[in-house]
Amino acid sequence: MREALVVWGGWSGHEPEQCAKIICDMLGGDGFKVYVETTTEAFADPSIRDLSLIVPIITMAKIEKEEVQNLTKAVAGGVGLAGFHGGMCDAFRESVEYQFMCGGQWVAHPGNVIDYRVDIVKPEDPICRGIQSFPYRSEQYYMHVDPTNEVLATTTFSGEHLPWIEGVVMPVAWKRRYGRGRVFYSSLGHVAQEFDVPEMRTILHRGVLWAARQDAEMKG
């Protein structure tokens, strides 16, 4: 049986416990045996190298050196890593090693929760298959991103809240490799209710399966 680890914690405003339950139910429905932890100490366990997937849902917080070293080693060795919004790419702000693995780091969300559009730029990719560009209401993440990411979706900043970033096209979802591991990220998902948006949920669900090397089982 495939095994996944979900680790939740950090800032409560992102509803990590509620989001973790959604992810656990999603993975359980896909046949995964899911382990749930609420402390970064789980990342230090050498046995994580035998997992199919790790999903961090921990905004901000801190990670110890031995924890991040074991985590990055596991992913480089072939364990999948997938996550969303601040739970993955606004975690452990002081750990550049972690950010290098993820492929991006949140730096701002001008206007806070606003209406914007998500544009699909790789409609031929199985993760985005059949999904059109769509309106969205959430925090529009401005991020520092790795140029090696394979970008699947973007958003364009209007400049309404910060005029000097008008027209900036920012990645929203990407996939990448880290050693032998697959890494997927989506900046959508500020709170649990956003999983009710079909496009958001489908992209994340398929991305999680891709990271776990279950390409053939991506949900329609």
Q: In total, how many domains does the chain have?
A: 1
Q: What is the pLDDT of residue 217?
A: 64
81: which residues sit within 8 A by CB, 6+ positions away?
53, 54, 55, 56, 75, 88, 101, 102, 178, 181, 182, 183, 184, 211
CB 51 within 8 A of CB 4: yes
pTM here is: 0.97
CATH number, domain of 118, equals 3.40.50.880
Integer Cα distance of 160 and 110 in angstroms: 9
Q: What is the pLDDT along the chain (220 residues), one digit of tens a residue?
A: 899 999 999 999 999 999 999 999 999 999 999 999 999 999 999 999 999 999 999 999 999 999 999 999 999 999 999 999 999 999 999 999 999 999 999 999 999 999 999 999 999 999 999 999 999 999 999 999 999 999 999 999 999 999 999 999 999 999 999 999 999 999 999 999 999 999 999 999 999 999 999 875 666 6
User: What's the domain range around 113?
Assistant: 3-217
